[in-house]
Amino acid sequence: MRLEKLIKLVKDKNADAALLLNESNMHYACGFSPSEGAVLITASGEGYHLVDSRYTETAVNQAKKSGLKVIEINKSFTDEIRDLCLQYNVKNILFENETISFSAYNKYREILEGIEFTGLDNSVMALRNVKDIDEIEMIKKANNIAEKSFQELLNEVKPGKSERELAALFDYIMAKNGSHGVSFDTILLTGTHTSMPHGVPDDRLIQDGDFVLFDFGATYCGYHSDMTRTVAVGHATDEMADAYNLVLKAQKAGIKALGDGVRCAHVYQAAYDVLQEKDMGKYFRHSLGHGVGLDIHEGYNASPKSNDTFTVGNVTSIEPGIYIPDKFGIRIEDLLYISPRGRENFSKITKELIIL
């Protein structure tokens, strides 16, 4: 149970309690994402979820699984936290030093006068990065929704359609298929726009012979998916096809290198080396992948400067790309799970070059 992991974290840090205000961290503890709330975990083995009346019923229902005790506030969150800290004689409290707002920090420091504040750093994120079976199922569900929607959208991709029009349609199709929200603003680019890794869809129209790049994700019960596919419309030149196949080869190399105990930088290098065989490494402008879960980017990062190491339970994207200014860009992205049995690719849609 996640509550037990959080209690152990408090004890391991030699603290009396941990205060969680970050929405994703609260979701990890309580099972949903209230827009406002607080979670307090005590070293003595108790967990409290503080909510206002908007979320009481949902919190109580979720508590049957989370094990948290729900408190509907009748004062303020800070006052309720102060009272609990007094009840449990808290002298040292762990707080989310990497994400707390300056305003919230000042409020809690003022009302918890005399209590020592110790930073959690990435300790909760480290727990979140090792997914349990329920979390894996939620991510798979989000990924399946996104894939089904992408296949439906391809029927609408044709010359004369605009990036903005298709991006809006894509979001609608994902919602229709059960997505609880998009993982991020959908990236849908065509022609020379594809050379911008995170370009924003505008009124540019698809033309015959264009690459079209789709970077998209659905969410389910707070968990995200992430996928990128690049297709050609009408036809592809030999240069386009060769570049596409090189990116695909690089992605396969990165996936093959992925595993428990493997350094993130090593996985990046495996993909980069393939691109560099054709002197295309200079056009690879981002990391190879990132953790995915309650946040679309969480935890580790497969970049050349990363000191992180992959471990069982991680869910990561693997997404090499090349971006040639004023010409075209290509990215291919899958979502991978490092399971106790080995590597599992959540992404089932073909990666061979699709020509519509």
3-state secondary structure of 329: strand
Q: Identify the band that residue 34 occupies on the pLDDT scale cut at 50, 70 and 90.
A: confident
**DSSP per residue, 258-271:** --TT-BHHHHHHHH
Task: Look at residue 221 and tell me whether its pLDDT is greater than 90.
Answer: yes
pLDDT for 35 beyond 90? no
Q: How confident is the model at residue 50 (pLDDT cuts 50, 70, 90)?
A: very high
Q: Are 223 and 294 in contact (CB under 8 A)?
A: yes
Compute the distance between CA of residue 101 and CA of residue 312 in angstroms, rounded to an integer: 32
Query: In 3-state terms, what secondary structure has residue 2?
Result: helix
Mean pLDDT, range 171-199, rounded to an integer: 97
Query: What's the pLDDT at 343?
Result: 94
pLDDT for 196 beyond 90: yes
Lowest-confidence range among 53-57, 134-138, 188-192, 206-210? 53-57
Question: Mean pLDDT across the stretch 301-320?
Answer: 96
Cβ contact 85:93 at 8 Å: yes
Strand, helix or coil at 257? helix
Helix 23-30 vs helix 56-66: crossing angle, to nearest 10: 60
Phi-psi region of 71 (alpha: psi -120 to 50; beta: other; left: phi over 0): beta
pLDDT of residue 292: 98
Q: Output the pLDDT for position 285.
A: 92
- Least confident range from 35-39, 162-166, 285-289: namely 35-39
Supply the pTM of this predicted model: 0.95
